[in-house]
């Protein structure tokens, strides 16, 4: 096994890789609950929740195993946050497509992305990315996942407005007043992980997650309202309610797995090419393709560039699909197509994989551990639910700190460089999208090269994607 995954080459071992796989799993396990909730939303795609849950697990397992066994990289895949919201609320909600038609678009997105990868266009884009953008992407992702962690931990309030509302200037983020015991526990968990990392304790992030979970259960046991820690529980719930949902019913497990038939292979290609839908279809496909490409490229570069996961030749040489980077990109698109066939939105490489990488994960064994744990979620989903978001959120915040090291390569004394870096980094958390940050960074970079008379320094493929980003923004403004 160690020879297959090349432990010696990448300076790792079973213990480190297993710990990394556990850390990645616990920081992204939320998706098996969140994705069905988003795709079954009555204001969006209205898909059957049980079926989406099973499809989410299946797509996650298959995609992550491909990264493990085919690409040998320590990443995990699952239906992407942001992509699932675009699928549900924009494509199905605002644009009026059925979820069957949206699944067909996701499948087409996978095919287009695979062609882009197989022909080398995706790799050409990576090679064309200036060092400033590569570093800014890494730092921006650090800010982004730290922001995700802060929101999930409940550390932020938004001026008293409903989260996710369009309240304009009223939606001002601020630190909460710490009256909620769950928020206090989340803050304690963050400090716990910081201390463990400072002391160089092996498995610090995973130990922090486990420790914060234990603290949460103890606080509830001593009288705190369990609904503060587990929002799905009714207000006033106690410790008994937390454990009451733990059960393994073979008959129910079988029924749940069989329910995937409600969404599997339900793709509707005919409806998306109707004359009155073609313009909207093009808009949606551009959004799907660009977001899927740059979410994955951004994550792989941002987390792998400084850790040695991808050697220099993976970015700069070779053709076809033969390096770790090529295989990781190919696996990502295969997983997207698999997810569409099962009944879920685009599958993408998860930025939360940074938690496992921070624990020392360097090979596909990390991904295999994560995939196995997700597979166990089918019969043991109730046990996975014992780990609250206040336990995993601090890990994301701390990983964000670790990833900010990427910005040390940026020449902040040169305004044209600093402006590109800032635009890329700032828009990721502010717009809650990795791809939006990358697209704004592309546009600012090309614009500054144009006005300073250095446009010849921009590679043609950078110009092409910049124009596509601009076109996407225009189409979104016209159609929505």
CB-based contact 375:117 (threshold 8 Å): no
- Percentage of the chain modeled with pLDDT above 90: 35
Mean pLDDT of the chain: 84
Cα-based angle 275, 291, 268 (whole degrees, multiple of 5): 35
Give Cα 202 to chain centroid, integer Å: 25
Give the DSSP per-residue string, 410-446. Answer: S-TTSHHHHHHHHHHHHHHHHTT-HHHHHHHHHHHHH
Q: For residue range 144-188, what is the model confidence (pLDDT) as tens digits?
A: 888 888 888 888 887 654 444 444 555 677 888 888 999 999 999
- CA 61, CA 335: separation in Å to the nearest integer? 9
- CA 286, CA 112: separation in Å to the nearest integer? 10
- CA 421, CA 414: separation in Å to the nearest integer? 11
CB-based contact 280:66 (threshold 8 Å): no
Q: For residue range 105-154, what is the model confidence (pLDDT) as tens digits?
A: 999 999 998 888 777 777 777 778 888 888 888 788 788 888 888 888 88
Closest-CA residue to 472 (of 278, 283, 293, 272)? 283
- CA 474, CA 460: separation in Å to the nearest integer? 21
- CA 450, CA 456: separation in Å to the nearest integer? 9
Annotated domain spans of the chain: 9-479
- CA 110, CA 3: separation in Å to the nearest integer? 32
Closest-CA residue to 393 (of 118, 189, 177, 130)? 189
Q: For residue range 338-376, what is the model confidence (pLDDT) as tens digits?
A: 999 999 999 999 988 988 998 889 999 999 999 999 998
Q: Which of 53-57, 124-128, 242-246, 286-290 holds the top average pLDDT?
A: 53-57
Q: Which of 58-67, 300-309, 371-380, 391-400 holds the top average pLDDT?
A: 58-67
Give the Cβ contact number of residue 207 at 10 Å: 16
- CA 128, CA 438: separation in Å to the nearest integer? 14
- CA 54, CA 36: separation in Å to the nearest integer? 9
Residue 318: left (phi > 0), alpha (psi -120 to 50), or beta? left
């Amino acid at each position: 096994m160690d020879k297959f995954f090349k432990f010696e080459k990448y300076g790792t071992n079973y213990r480190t890789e297993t710990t990394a796989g556990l850390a990645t799993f616990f920081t992204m396990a939320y998706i098996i609950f969140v994705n069905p909730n988003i795709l079954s939303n009555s204001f969006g795609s209205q898909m059957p929740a049980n079926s989406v849950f099973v499809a989410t697990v299946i797509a996650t397992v298959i995609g992550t195993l491909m990264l493990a066994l085919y690409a040998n990289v320590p990443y995990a895949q699952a239906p992407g946050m942001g992509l699932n919201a675009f699928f549900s609320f924009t494509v199905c909600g605002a644009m009026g497509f059925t979820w069957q038609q949206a699944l067909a678009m996701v499948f087409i997105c996978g095919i287009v992305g695979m062609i882009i990868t197989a022909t080398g266009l995706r790799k050409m884009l990576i090679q064309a990315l200036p060092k400033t953008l590569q570093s800014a992407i890494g730092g921006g992702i650090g800010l982004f996942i730290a922001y995700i962690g802060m929101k999930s931990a409940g550390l932020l309030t938004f001026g008293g407005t409903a989260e996710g509302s369009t309240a304009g200037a009223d939606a001002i983020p601020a630190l909460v007043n710490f009256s909620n015991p769950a928020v206090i526990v989340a803050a304690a968990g963050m400090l716990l992980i910081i201390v463990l990392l400072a002391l160089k304790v092996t498995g610090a992030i995973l130990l922090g997650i486990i420790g914060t979970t234990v603290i949460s259960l103890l606080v509830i046991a001593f009288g705190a309202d369990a609904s503060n820690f587990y929002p799905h529980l009714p207000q006033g719930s106690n410790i008994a309610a937390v454990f009451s949902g733990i059960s393994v019913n073979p008959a129910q497990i079988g029924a749940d797995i069989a329910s995937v038939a409600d969404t599997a292979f339900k793709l509707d290609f005919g409806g998306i090419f109707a004359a009155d839908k073609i313009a909207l279809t093009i808009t949606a496909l551009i959004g799907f393709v660009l977001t899927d490409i740059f979410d994955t490229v951004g994550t792989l570069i941002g987390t792998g560039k400084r850790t040695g996961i991808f050697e220099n030749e993976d970015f700069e040489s070779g053709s076809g699909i033969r390096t770790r980077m090529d295989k990781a990109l190919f696996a990502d698109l295969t997983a997207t197509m698999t997810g569409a066939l099962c009944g879920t939105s685009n599958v993408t490489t998860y930025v939360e994989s940074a938690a496992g990488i921070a624990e020392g994960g360097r090979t596909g064994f990390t991904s295999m551990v994560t995939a196995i744990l997700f597979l166990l979620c089918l019969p043991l989903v109730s046990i996975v639910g014992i780990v609250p978001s206040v336990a995993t959120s601090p890990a994301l915040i701390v990983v964000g700190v670790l990833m900010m090291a990427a910005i040390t390569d940026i020449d902040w004394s040169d305004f044209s460089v600093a402006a590109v870096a800032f635009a890329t980094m700032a828009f990721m958390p502010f717009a809650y999208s990795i791809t939006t940050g990358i697209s704004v960074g592309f546009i600012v970079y090309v614009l500054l090269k144009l006005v300073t008379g250095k446009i010849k320094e921009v590679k043609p493929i950078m110009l092409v994607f910049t124009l596509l980003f601009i076109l996407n923004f225009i189409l979104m403004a016209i159609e929505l």
